[in-house]
C-alpha cells in the first residue's frame, strides 16, 4: 500500500465516501504523459503507426508536392524556389486528425494546377524551428509563400469555398 492509498483511506474515514470518490483517480500521474507541445519531437504518436507502411502525408509520386525533411532546406525554398513560383506550405503532424482531412484537398488542388504552384509540407515535430519562424500557433496551418514572403495564410480545416479562394489568389501570383 502506497502513501497515496493511505492518505485516501484517511480522507474516506474522516469525510465519508461521497466527498472522496470524485478525488480518487485511477489515471497515471501527470508526469507519465508526454507533453502536448507540437514543437516537441517526443510528441504523441498514433498507436497504430507501427502497423502501417503507408505514408500519411506528401505523396512522393507528384513532383509538385515536397516534404521538408530538414530545417536547412527551408532557406532554399524561401530564397530560390519561391522567387520562381508560389508555394503552398502546409504545417502538419502525423498525429493530427484535421491535418489528415485537409491534406488530400490541398493535394488535389495543386495537382489540378499542373505545375504552376508547388506544395511544401512541413512536419512540425521534425521541423519545429520553421514553424516557430513562420509563427504557427496551431495546426493544420497553411501559408502562401511568394518571393520569400508570406502573402496569405489560414489555420484549421476550412470549407472548399475558402480553399478555392486561397488557390485563386495563388494562381494570380503565378500568372504575374
Choose, from 99, 102, 131, 143, the residue flagged as catalytic: 99
- The reply to whether 127 belongs to the active site is no
Pairing mode, strands 141-146 and 118-123: unpaired
Write the pLDDT tens digit of every residue in 4-63: 566 666 666 666 655 544 444 445 454 444 444 444 444 444 444 444 434 444 444 567
* Alpha-carbon distances, residue 140 vs 34, 42, 60, 151, 158 (angstroms): 21, 19, 20, 17, 10
Rounded Cα gap, residues 77 and 83, in angstroms: 9
Q: Indicate the SS3 state at residue 109.
A: helix
- The reply to whether 2 belongs to the active site is no
Choose, from 78, 88, 96, 120, the residue flagged as catalytic: 96
pTM of the model: 0.64
Q: Give the neighbor-by-neighbor strand order of the sheet with 118-123.
A: 65-68, 118-123, 87-92, 141-146, 149-155
Write the pLDDT tens digit of every residue in 84-136: 889 999 999 999 999 999 999 999 898 888 888 889 999 999 988 999 998 99
Amino acid at each position: 500500500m502506497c502513501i497515496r492509498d493511505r492518505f485516501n483511506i484517511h480522507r474516506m474515514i474522516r469525510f465519508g465516501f461521497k466527498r472522496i470518490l470524485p478525488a480518487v483517480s485511477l489515471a497515471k500521474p501527470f508526469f507519465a504523459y508526454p507533453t502536448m507541445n507540437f514543437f516537441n519531437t517526443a510528441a504523441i504518436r498514433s498507436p497504430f503507426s507501427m502497423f502501417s507502411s503507408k505514408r500519411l502525408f506528401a505523396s512522393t509520386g507528384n513532383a509538385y508536392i515536397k516534404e521538408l525533411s530538414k530545417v536547412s532546406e527551408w532557406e532554399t525554398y524561401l530564397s530560390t524556389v519561391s522567387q520562381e513560383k508560389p508555394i503552398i506550405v502546409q504545417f502538419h503532424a502525423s498525429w493530427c486528425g484535421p491535418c489528415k482531412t485537409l491534406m488530400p484537398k490541398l493535394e488535389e488542388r495543386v495537382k489540378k494546377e499542373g505545375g504552376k504552384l508547388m506544395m511544401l509540407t512541413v512536419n512540425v515535430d521534425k521541423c519545429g524551428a520553421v514553424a516557430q519562424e513562420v509563427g504557427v500557433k496551431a495546426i493544420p496551418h497553411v501559408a502562401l509563400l511568394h518571393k520569400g514572403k508570406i502573402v496569405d495564410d489560414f489555420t484549421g480545416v476550412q470549407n472548399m469555398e475558402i480553399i478555392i479562394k486561397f488557390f485563386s489568389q495563388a494562381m494570380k501570383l503565378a500568372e504575374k
